[in-house]
């Protein structure tokens, strides 16, 4: 009797972006989950568990984790191609016009026009690519909109451009501004 089993891996995210309405809360929840994971992965006799308030490094790791997840949801084929996989089909050509690359944390970034400038921060020269219709992008844009007190639309766009590359960013910002209740 010859039995063949066909197994498909199903990726079910632990945290669903659409369930959160606040960027800071999402990042803190993810940071505590990553801390718990690190604390439980070490052997008991070698463990010095991290407790207390979250530090800056843990919050940045949580941000990078969320960026990677949003990018995998939208640009998984492009990331696989950049990671070195050869047989990938269905890649969006518009992304490659922006000179994408993966940084040391595995986040998909774009090479900006200001990359040659010596006086600019590397995060501004190599912006993070976020998909325009992803719930994470909505949370980030809403965070910046609220951070600048619901006022000037161009200030929000300018501040977002210093860190993120969002296709049709003005339209996304406009939609957030129209949906705002404040």
Which tokens belong to 89?
């089909």
Check whether 124 has a pLDDT greater than 70: yes
Convert the pLDDT of each residue in 40-92 to its tens digit: 887 666 666 778 899 999 999 999 999 999 999 888 888 888 887 766 666 66
Q: How far apart are alpha carbons 40 and 28 in whole angstroms?
A: 18
Q: How far apart are alpha carbons 77 and 94 in whole angstroms?
A: 13
Q: Which residues face 100 on adjacent strands?
A: 110
Please report the pLDDT score of residue 5 as a whole number.
Answer: 47
**By mean pLDDT, which of 21-25, 52-56, 105-109, 147-151 is the weakest?**
147-151
Confidence label for 33 from pLDDT (cuts 50, 70 and 90): very high
Q: How far apart are alpha carbons 82 and 113 in whole angstroms?
A: 20
Please report the pLDDT score of residue 95 as a whole number.
Answer: 77
Q: How far apart are alpha carbons 98 and 95 in whole angstroms?
A: 6
Taking alpha carbons only, the member of 170, 157, 181, 137 closest to residue 26 is 137
Q: What angle do CA 99, 162, 112 make, to 5 degrees?
A: 20
Check whether 38 has a pLDDT greater than 70: yes
What is the share, in percent, of the chain residues with pLDDT greater than 90? 40
Taking alpha carbons only, the member of 63, 92, 66, 61 closest to residue 79 is 92
Strand 126-129, strand 100-102: pairing? unpaired
Write down the pTM of the prediction: 0.82
Check whether 112 has a pLDDT greater than 80: no
Of residues 174 and 94, the one with the higher pLDDT is: 174
């Amino acid at each position: 009797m010859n039995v063949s089993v066909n197994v498909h891996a199903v990726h079910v995210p632990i945290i669903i972006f659409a369930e959160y309405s606040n960027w800071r809360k999402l990042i803190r929840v993810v940071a505590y989950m990553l801390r718990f994971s690190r604390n439980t992965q070490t052997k008991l006799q070698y463990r010095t568990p991290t407790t207390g308030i979250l530090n800056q490094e843990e919050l940045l790791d949580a941000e990078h984790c969320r960026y990677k997840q949003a990018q995998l949801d939208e640009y998984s084929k492009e990331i696989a191609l950049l990671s070195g996989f050869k047989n990938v089909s269905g890649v969006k050509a518009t992304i490659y016009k922006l000179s994408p690359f993966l940084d040391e944390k595995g986040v998909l970034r774009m090479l900006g026009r200001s990359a040659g400038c010596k006086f600019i921060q590397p995060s501004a020269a190599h912006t993070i690519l976020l998909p325009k219709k992803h719930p994470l992008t909505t949370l980030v844009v809403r965070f910046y909109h609220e951070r600048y007190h619901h006022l000037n639309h161009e200030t929000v766009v300018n501040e977002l451009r210093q860190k993120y590359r969002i296709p049709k960013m003005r339209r996304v910002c406009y939609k957030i501004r129209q949906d705002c209740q404040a």
